[in-house]
Amino acid sequence: MTAIRKGRSGLWRNTLVDISHSFLPSRPFSRQRRSLALKVTQADLYVMTRLLGYVDPSDPCFVAAILTITFNPLFWNVVARWEHKTRQLSRAFRSPYLACYSLGAAILLLNVLRSHCFTQAMLSQPKMESLDNPTAYRMGLVLLGVGSTFVLSSFFALGFTGTFLGDYFGILKEARVTTFPFNVLDNPMYWGSTANYLGWAVMHASPAGLLLTAVVALVYMVAILYEEPFTAQIYQQKASPSHKRS
């Protein structure tokens, strides 16, 4: 197992070195700035290769976790935009509220499946000895508590339809929500969920969980890039004079 882990780590290290070099700026840099950039890259590579040395990316549980993590935001964004364009769900359920509740229920079930796959992926892969201690476990609990606070407070501030893309169904809020946790950070639901997964991974001393958490964060960042401009466009249309006259 150790030999296999070292071989896998070396393969990942070589791949990451090639990728990191491709991201280094091609324009001239001062020697000091280039040296600093290389040191940061080397530090990131050290952390990544150490984590990847514990992970078998071909493990079915790990693959299932990756698929559910990437599929969920894709699903709700595609369905919500399709609904905004066609109103097919609202017509099928004869109510935008029932349609939104149905999509919300589907999203919740998909998130339960994602969490299950995430946990199974952690349990199927080895632990990291340096994280397998009471201090790290308590840190994981803190992260889980913070994440749950952001998720639950976001839900109570937005309500069910506000949380589950009600604005795509024409269920618009009168004003932007500025109470906690939205006065602390943007997209607290997403970052709270990410903190939950990070805390869960730390509590299990799981390198696989840490890597999957990074995937969760990356997928959420991409989702935000697509969701925020589209949501802003919906509310701009609401505020337009032509929309008010109609």
162 is in an annotated binding site: no
Residue-wise pLDDT for 121-179, tens only, equals 999 999 998 899 999 999 999 999 999 999 999 999 999 999 999 999 999 988 888 89
What's the rounded Cα separation, in Å, for the pair 111 and 151? Answer: 13
| CA nearest neighbour of 211 among 107, 112, 128 | 128
CB 33 within 8 A of CB 80: no
User: Mutual orientation of helices 31-52 and 207-239 as an angle, nearest 10°?
Assistant: 110
Helix (H, G, I), strand (E, B) or coil at 235: helix
Residue-wise pLDDT for 175-197, tens only, equals 888 899 999 999 999 999 999 99
145 is in an annotated binding site: yes
Cβ neighbours of residue 16 closer than 8 Å, sequence gap 6 or more: 45, 48, 49
CB 72 within 8 A of CB 111: yes
Whole-prediction pTM: 0.79
The one-letter amino acid code at 112 reads V
192 is in an annotated binding site: no
10 is in an annotated binding site: no
147 is in an annotated binding site: yes
